[in-house]
Amino acid sequence: MAKKLYVGNLPYSTTDASLKSHFEQAGSVASASVIMDRMTGRSKGFGFVEMSTDDDAAKAIDMFNGKEMDGRALTVNEARPMEPRAPRMARM
């Protein structure tokens, strides 16, 4: 079963493809996405990587948590499920 990882403190130049290729060193990557700011189109500095197996996910955490990528120390851990948000108020 695939396991989703949170990857924080990413360099702002990181793309989905570069994130995926970086994490493929630890095993098979099902998907990788860098979260982008809607207003500026710039990376928010974090993303998510879905590893194909639990073993690959554990290996990725061991390999990359606290290690540098383009001069920035990554934070890598198991992603928490999204919490439901309160509905937004309509703008007038």
- Asked, for residue 9, whether it belongs to a domain, the answer is yes
Q: Sheet harboring 75-78: ordered strands across?
A: 29-36, 43-51, 3-8, 75-78
| C-alpha to C-alpha distance for 32 and 19, rounded to whole angstroms | 6
pTM of the model: 0.88
In a domain, 13, yes or no: yes
Q: How many separate domains does the chain show?
A: 1
Q: Is residue 83's pLDDT more than 90?
A: no
In a domain, 10, yes or no: yes
Q: What is the pLDDT of residues 38-74, one digit of tens each?
A: 999 999 999 999 999 999 999 999 999 999 999 999 9
- CATH number for the domain spanning 23: value is 3.30.70.330
Instruction: Look at residue 92 in the predicted model and tell me its pLDDT.
Output: 63
85 in any annotated domain: no
Domain membership flag for residue 89: no
For the chain, what is the mean pLDDT? 94
Residue 38 domain boundaries = 3-78
